[in-house]
Structure 1
Amino acid sequence: MPWFKKFLCLLSPLLIAVPAHAATTKAAVFPFDIHDAQQDGEIVPQFNPEDLRRLKLVVDELKVLMAKDGKYAVIDLGPHAQEIEKASPFKECNGCEVPIAKEAGADIAVTGFVDKVSDALLSLQIVARDTKTGELTKTMSAAINGNTDELWLHGVRYLWRNRFNVEAPAK
């Protein structure tokens, strides 16, 4: 066998094993919102502190999952805290998070929402928008049947694995 064929035979497994470097998407992950049906009709809702803690828990978990993946770089939104406070809740503003995310240098703006019907029935929604166009790029929802840290985390991990981190089929 000529030397170049031997060389190619030795080199080809290495070429296959080296992943192609895709561009990293910069993501602005905003605090998630909550709607508690038990608070409907209240002038000033008094959200359960455990639910508010779990909202932060699932946001932090999503950020960790995104950072571990390598396809995403999570942008620090700390310098935009006042703008975020004024604009929220994001479930009601139809994309008002996009200019904040764009200003922060992000390619996508990620928001989320928990709809709590009761302690036994909740729904977690995650939405991503392109910061250049404002268009929705991803929308997803998962039912959570129980109100524990592990079940909320299971919901965000499920959405990450099966919806968020899955490429759309080519058209």
Structure 2
Amino acid sequence: MNNSFTVADIKMHSDIYTIISGTNRPGSNTIRVAKQYLRLLEKKGIPARFISLEGIDVNNRNDGLRLLEKEVLIPSRKFIFVTPEYNGSFPGVLKAMIDNTDIEKVWWGKKALLTGVSTGRAGNLRGMEHLTGVLHYLKMNVHHNKLPISVVNKLLNGEKDIEDEATLKMIDEQLEDFIRF
């Protein structure tokens, strides 16, 4: 592996990453996958922030949401959304959070990576497409490599992280692509 860095590499790694677990459901598979993404980024030497929507009131523009904007969302340049499939789309709580933020300051011109999770066989493909449409409307650049993770309940196998080699390889390739994006 080449350990030399160019000016472009230094700029690339100065991006502030934020991973958003796109549900408020306690103890969800989504939060487990999102936290695994956090650990995988950190192994690559890339610090990231983490947002769980559990316990956050996103239904209106309140002091807690403003603080989240100021301290995490506005400074972030790259977002990784890990979203479960809810009724053929993505969770309303994620949409409510987006809708109640200052969209120009928080989202415009920034980059997004999408990972869908489901216990079914499509890995939330439709939900990722719906979220892509919303993010494009917000003038975000959505990375082309959207990863659907199907049968996530079997891949997590109880309390463990995803250990399936093929899935881990796809996640690693997706993250490497997004780091360069």
TM-score per shorter chain, which class?
0.3 to 0.5
More strand by share: 1
Whose radius of gyration is greater, 1 or 2? 1
